Structure 1
Amino acid sequence: MAMAFDPISQLDRLAASVLDSVRSPRLMPVDLFRDGDKYVLHADLPGVDPGSIDVDIDGSQLSIRAQRTADSGEGSRWLARERSAGSFLRQFTLGDGVDVERISASYENGVLSVIIPVSERAKPRKIAIESAGHRQEIAA
């Protein structure tokens, strides 16, 4: 079954995507992984002034905000302009198993790195099992 091309709905979809990108903050691509006793978050923010980057925690919400200003290009004739400028925002909900007091961040080569340590109480530990004859440990 062939689908009919509807130019009005295509135009509406295009207009909505353009307006959404103008009005709302842009998303930044991130990698997030656990490495031993810490979580590591890398966020791509090329061309962003480090002074515009804000990492904050409100309760269990980790927010990363940044701003990239557009090249004015006055008198220039643009052939392509694909690098978005404006506000960037990502928010993450942190679980109880992280140490929010020891979170740290650094910015190098266009990548923001946020280190989120696992709290002591969330780390795996051994529990001793005692019996009449001997003592044995098992992983908890």
Structure 2
Amino acid sequence: MANHSPIREMERLADALFDGPSRGPRRMPMDLYRDGDRYLLTADLPGIDPGSVDVDVDGQLLTIRAERTLPGADNVKWITRERTSGSFLRQLSLGQGIDTERISASYDNGVLSVTIPVSERAKPRKVQVTNGSVIEAVSDTAQAEGGQRSIEDPQA
């Protein structure tokens, strides 16, 4: 006697309805984190032909597409078929602080890795604090020469 769980049967039905070919592209599970001056995105794409993986940047929109094709066997009686073929799609809106020209990607052992560098202008920077006596000395010199007291750019 087979052990049929109502929850397992509902999961199977939901998978068939929502992950079937009529639903369209599926989302791929991914992780995204910042490591210093770059973001790292990893996405699971097991069984994907590396030639079908496509990463595009259009303005501030990053799009990842992939296709899984499974060998068909027309004259077989399937016992179970849980692996599905089809398209995978993920789109991310990138912020203004991203260097879109230097985004790179690699695919290894079923995992897509995308490196998204932070642009130079978006990186934190140290602002140098100058000694206020330099500006005061310029102003004092102008006053001693009979000119008006003003704040001037010491670099000018």
Length-normalised TM-score, structure 1: 0.78
- Work out whether residues 19 and 26 of structure 2, in 8 Å CA contact, stay in contact via their aligned partners in 1: no
* CA distance in structure 2 between the partners assigned to 1:92 and 1:122 by the alignment: 19
Q: How many angstroms apart in 2 are the aligned matches of 1:89 and 1:51?
A: 15
Moved more, 92-101 or 122-131: 122-131
Unaligned runs of 5+ residues in structure 2 are 1-9, 135-156
Aligned residues between the structures: 122
Pick closer, same or farther for the CA change 1:35–1:48 going to 2, 3 Å.
Answer: same
Q: Distance in 2 between matches of 1:19 and 1:42?
A: 24
- Could you say what secondary structure the match of 1:98 adopts? coil
More strand by share: 1
* Normalised TM-score (structure 2): 0.71
Flag as ranges the 4+ runs of structure 1 deviating above 4 A. Answer: none
What is the CA-CA distance between 1:77 and the residue it aligns to? 2.5
Q: CA RMSD in A?
A: 2.2
Percent of aligned pairs with the same amino acid: 60
Q: Secondary structure at the match of 1:125?
A: coil
1:115 matched to which residue of 2? 115
**Which entry has the higher C-alpha Rg, 1 or 2?**
2
Deviation at 1:79, TM superposition (A): 2.1
Distance between the aligned counterparts of 1:32 and 1:63, measured in 2? Answer: 14
Unaligned 5+ segments in structure 1 are: 1-10, 135-140
In the alignment, which residue of structure 1 is the partner of 2:99?
Answer: 99
Q: By percentage of residues, which structure has more helix?
A: 2
Aligned to 2:90: 90
